[in-house]
A and B are shown apart, each in its own frame.
Chain A
Amino acid sequence: MSKIKYIQKLLKAKEVSCVELTKNYLNNIEKQNKALNAYVNVTGGEAIKTAKKVDEKIAAGEELMPLEGIPMSLKDNISTKDIETTCCSKMLKGYYPIYDATVWEILKNQNSVLLGKTNMDEFAMGSSCETSIFGTTLNPHNTDYVAGGSSGGAAASVAGNMAAFGLGSDTGGSIRQPASFCGIVGFKPTYGTVSRYGVVAYASSLDQVGPITDSVEDAAIVYDCLSLYDPKDSTSIGSKTGTCDKLHNSIKGLKIGIADEYFEGINEDIISSIEEAIKVYQDAGAEIVNFEIPKLKAFLPVYFIIACAEASSNLGRFDGIRYGYKTDSYNDVNDMICKNRSEGFGKEVQKRILLGTYALSSGYYDAYYKKAQNLRYSIIQDFKNIFKSCDVIITPSVPVTAFKKGEALTDPIATYMMDICTVPANIAGLPAISVPCGFDKNKMPIGMQIIGNSFEDYKVFNAAYQYEKQTKKSDEISPYPEVKI
């Protein structure tokens, strides 16, 4: 079931060389990236170099590390030394980082094969990649629909067989929503378990990097490699326990929390798919625990205020002086900075910076930012209490399935509402996964979200794996990726 394990098995048995495998993936990118727009930068030359190194190790009979030789993609907000890192913004076009993000450093040291950088909403602000300067990423299941966002490129790279796994980042659902839209697995780890060093910050207290994969086991393998303490990230803790060794644990007696509030206003196809999934759990011996979460409607404004406030502060560094977009003409230094920012940032980014500045400004700070922070504390306490009576919570990943290109940008509130199921995990720093659980009437994928208590990422993986085992066909893996569209 695990693509990563299967690829390594073939590499070790010399049934395929890493160079051949990499070329297959690069060919597939060549064939379908024009239509899907998952990659904004393909790093084929470097990929072949790494693949050769892996083949040499195999020829010498050396052991392979868990992600060695695996072709993968990185979201374009993850810093890659000497490889352009743009956050899909005009502001960072032509920016070449002088250091690697820790997550990439870990993968690089394992000789993971980087195929390229993937598309995203500008500075991760959006739900459909439609704010990217490179244009929208389309859904491999049907190119009339978007792949989601903000890690839409990462999701399409995996769902379109253009990478064995991808790394995305999740501030309010940016890994889980595109994974749900594209019918694959997306995992947001417990806050602090994966380093944020070198990941261009949107909202530092909400951002986490995580894997987007074909299967739950693949996500667990990647997470176990990445969840290390990093002294370069002051909020880093690392993982207290591995997850791969607990995937096979029995879920008999597992307590699954369900709250009606999470199902209000949700598309009916999604509700019936989740209900069926819950039956699968019950058949396997899990118990259902009902709970209430009356403040759920206030979660989105809390999230939005905190995210925008932190963004307005984080994005203050982009002045166009040391790197990034530079205007053509200006009258003085202040004028230069204003023009660099106004011409370099897109409209959605500017709007969020303005809203964040508003929430932090004198006269509004107490009513918005301070109030949101206080509510955040009480939300965290609420979840702590909920997890006293259950092991995991099940919700839909997104209230809707993938929408058509251009449908999201019309109403800002309706767009933000799409994050209602995913933001609670970011507000409270909880681990959460989206796993595929069926299709809607338009044959677009549906995602189920499993949320766990802080540092109990292994329970989330265990519950997701046991569901997947019952429902997913096992003969879907090919080391020779086929063109999907």
Chain B
Amino acid sequence: MITKEEVLKIAKLAKLSVNNDEIDMLIEDMSKIIEYADAINTVTEDEDNEVEFYNINNSANAFNEDIVIDSYDRDEILKNREGGEKGYFVIRKRHRG
């Protein structure tokens, strides 16, 4: 069973705020799922077989050649945010809507 304190700590790490009216439901749901996930700890493997997984196709890291190429246009990128100016995203320190 996950505790209220644990849920709040995890939420802080995940940058999510959890309302008081939803926390009980969330604790119940998460506890059920974690209990279910515990099934993996019932599967025992020979220690020799315990190999950490890296990637599916055993492929090596793919690196691009270090060549300068055109990137996206700054103004294009700023289009998705109103108030973008002089090549920057504008964030007010605090805001009252």
Residues of A participating in the B interface, judged by any CB pair closer than 8 Å: 94-96, 98-99, 191-192, 205, 231, 234-237, 295, 297-298, 300-302, 304-305, 312, 316, 319, 321-324, 327-334, 336-339, 341-342, 345, 347, 350-351, 353-355, 357-359, 361, 367-368, 370-378, 380-381, 412-413, 416, 428-429, 454
Contact digits for B9-44, partner A, Cβ 8 Å, 1 yes 0 no: 011011111100010001001101110111111110
Known: A345-B16, A377-B51. 17 other contacts (CB 8 A): A98-B73, A191-B57, A231-B64, A235-B55, A301-B37, A312-B14, A321-B91, A329-B95, A329-B96, A332-B93, A341-B15, A351-B26, A354-B16, A358-B2, A367-B41, A374-B51, A412-B32
In the complex with contacts A304-B33, A361-B13, A298-B81 CB distance below 8 A: no
Q: Which of A98, A297, A361 contacts B39 (CB 8 A)?
A: A297
Interface contact A298-B39, CB-CB below 8 Å: yes
Interface contact A371-B53, CB-CB below 8 Å: no
Interface contact B29-A351, CB-CB below 8 Å: yes
Q: How would you classify the secondary structure of chain B's contact residues: helix, strand, loop or mixed? A: loop
A349 and chain B: residue at smallest CB distance: B16
B63 and chain A: residue at smallest CB distance: A234
How far, in Å, is A328 (CB) from chain B's closest CB? 3
B79 an interface residue at 8 Å Cβ cutoff?
yes
| Distance A367 CA – B89 CA, assembled complex (angstroms) | 41
In the complex with contacts A235-B59, A357-B14, A375-B40 CB distance below 8 A: yes
Measured between beta carbons, the chain B residues less than 8 angstroms from A375 are 40, 43, 45
Interface contact B55-A205, CB-CB below 8 Å: yes
B64 and chain A: residue at smallest CB distance: A231
Q: Which of B15, B45, B52, B77 contacts A373 (CB 8 A)?
A: B52
Q: Which of A205, A298, A321 contacts B40 (CB 8 A)?
A: A298
| Distance A86 CA – B1 CA, assembled complex (angstroms) | 35
Q: For chain B, residues 54 to 97, give those with C-beta under 8 angstroms from any C-beta of chain A.
A: 55-57, 59, 61-62, 64, 72-73, 76-77, 79-81, 89, 91, 93-97
How far, in Å, is B14 (CB) from chain A's closest CB? 4
Measured between beta carbons, the chain A residues less than 8 angstroms from B96 are 329
B90 and chain A: residue at smallest CB distance: A321
Summed over the interface, the residue pairs from A and B with CB atoms below 8 Å come to a total of 157
Most chain B CB within a 10 A radius of its CB, from A94, A316, A322, A328: A322
Interface contact B93-A355, CB-CB below 8 Å: no
Q: Which of B52, B62, B95 contacts A374 (CB 8 A)?
A: B52
| Distance A378 CA – B77 CA, assembled complex (angstroms) | 43
| Distance A372 CA – B52 CA, assembled complex (angstroms) | 9
30 of the cross-chain contacts (CB-CB < 8 Å) are A98-B72, A98-B73, A192-B57, A205-B55, A235-B62, A301-B36, A301-B38, A304-B33, A304-B36, A321-B89, A328-B97, A329-B97, A341-B14, A341-B16, A342-B18, A354-B10, A354-B11, A354-B16, A357-B13, A358-B30, A367-B41, A372-B40, A377-B51, A378-B49, A378-B51, A381-B49, A413-B33, A416-B33, A416-B36, A429-B56
Residues of B participating in the A interface, judged by any CB pair closer than 8 Å: 2, 6-7, 10-11, 13-18, 22, 26, 29-30, 32-34, 36-43, 45, 49-53, 55-57, 59, 61-62, 64, 72-73, 76-77, 79-81, 89, 91, 93-97
Interface contact B77-A358, CB-CB below 8 Å: no
Q: Which of A328, A354, A367 contacts B14 (CB 8 A)?
A: A354
Measured between beta carbons, the chain A residues less than 8 angstroms from B15 are 316, 319, 334, 337-338, 341
Q: Which of B33, B45, B53, B62 contacts A412 (CB 8 A)?
A: B33
Measured between beta carbons, the chain B residues less than 8 angstroms from A322 are 77, 80-81, 89
Measured between beta carbons, the chain B residues less than 8 angstroms from A367 are 41
How far, in Å, is B8 (CB) from chain A's closest CB? 10
Interface contact B80-A96, CB-CB below 8 Å: yes
Measured between beta carbons, the chain A residues less than 8 angstroms from B93 are 332-333
How far, in Å, is A220 (CB) from chain B's closest CB? 22
Interface contact B40-A237, CB-CB below 8 Å: no
How far, in Å, is B86 (CB) from chain A's closest CB? 15
| Distance A370 CA – B32 CA, assembled complex (angstroms) | 20
Measured between beta carbons, the chain A residues less than 8 angstroms from B18 are 342
| Distance A361 CA – B37 CA, assembled complex (angstroms) | 15
| Distance A306 CA – B30 CA, assembled complex (angstroms) | 16
Measured between beta carbons, the chain B residues less than 8 angstroms from A428 are 56
B11 and chain A: residue at smallest CB distance: A354
In the complex with contacts A298-B43, A358-B2, A377-B76 CB distance below 8 A: no
Q: Which of B14, B38, B53 contacts A376 (CB 8 A)?
A: B53
Interface contact A96-B45, CB-CB below 8 Å: no
B39 and chain A: residue at smallest CB distance: A301
A370 and chain B: residue at smallest CB distance: B52
Measured between beta carbons, the chain A residues less than 8 angstroms from B77 are 98, 322
How far, in Å, is B52 (CB) from chain A's closest CB? 6
Measured between beta carbons, the chain A residues less than 8 angstroms from B89 are 321-322
Q: Which of A297, A330, A377 contacts B95 (CB 8 A)?
A: A330
A298 and chain B: residue at smallest CB distance: B43
How far, in Å, is A423 (CB) from chain B's closest CB? 13
| Distance A282 CA – B11 CA, assembled complex (angstroms) | 54
A357 and chain B: residue at smallest CB distance: B14
| Distance A191 CA – B57 CA, assembled complex (angstroms) | 8
A191 and chain B: residue at smallest CB distance: B56
How far, in Å, is B61 (CB) from chain A's closest CB? 7
Q: Which of A342, A380, A413 contacts B32 (CB 8 A)?
A: A413
